Amino acid sequence: MLAVHQLSKSFKKVTAVSDVTFDAADGRITGLLGSNGAGKTTTLRMICGLVAPDRGEVRVDDVDIARDKARARTRLGMLPDSRGLYPRLTGRENVEYFGNLRGLSSAEVTARLDPLAEQLDMGDLLKRRVEGFSQGERAKIAISRAIIHHPQNILLDEPTNGLDVMSTRAMRTLVRRLRDEGRCVVFSSHIMQEVSALCDVIVIISDGEVVARGTEEELLAKTSAASLEDAFVALSTKEPT
């Protein structure tokens, strides 16, 4: 469970995130929906403690990340914006490295990786060196290494970016499975269909502020719009009062 309370962050004179507040419950997929540059990535970086907020608080399963970053991070898994893998290592070695850093033995990593490889249809990806992998193949390795320690809370920054149809489907199935296991999944995206298809709760961010949150039905009802896209446009262009 994640609780984000009044987070604010400015870079020099630009306000990236202002007063962002939302909860993300266990067993739910919470979607952060916003245009490019709306502040989604900065918010996610503050949640996992890589960027220190100017104001506000983040609690990961009731652990304040500012107080005990190490403990909070063991309960977090994040697929960040940059998917950098190590090209000279094989897929398995890439995942194993992060697993080992998280304190898992190599045997434990293998035990967890094999079912994941099947779910994501990774085939021989684990045996090959990452050099020359396609975007989709890279994404599969990157997500595996982000959740290899079975974190309760999972942050995914635009996880389907650059993926083809098959990879996107595999990724969605995985995200749903993680939710069904009772984990708290936060999913950022600027793609309406994606958020609409996956998310139980939607938080719309515009210009660094939360302009609306609720289920898709609630958002549609609130704006009397026919689609999530119309609702999004109506909400994110409305002047804050």
Q: Under the rule (CB under 8 A), what is the footprint of other proteins? A: 45, 48, 50-52, 69-70, 73-74, 76, 78, 80-89, 93, 97-98, 100-102, 105, 142, 145-146
Cα–Cα distance, 175 to 130 (Å, whole number) = 23
End-to-end CA distance of the chain: 30
Min separation Cβ 100 and other proteins, Å: 4
Closer of 125 and 201 to other proteins (Cβ): 125
Smallest separation (angstroms) from other proteins to the CB of 142: 7
Of 174, 188, 179, 176, which is closest to residue 31 (Cα–Cα)?
A: 188
* Residue 79 CB, nearest approach to other proteins (Å): 8
Looking at the Cβ atoms of 142 and 199, the one nearer to other proteins is: 142
Nearer to other proteins, 129 or 190 (CB): 129
Residue 233, classed as helix, strand or coil, is helix
| CB of residue 118 to other proteins, shortest distance in Å | 23
CB nearer to other proteins: give 84 or 162: 84
Strand boundaries in 13-163, DSSP class E? 14-24, 28-33, 55-60, 63-64, 76-79, 153-157
Q: Between residues 92 and 213, which has the closer beta carbon with respect to other proteins?
A: 92
Give the separation between CA 192 and CA 27, rounded to whole angstroms: 21
Single-letter residue type at 8:
S
Instruction: Enter the tokens of residue 180.
Output: 């069904």
Q: How far is the CB of 205 from other proteins (least distance, A)?
A: 19
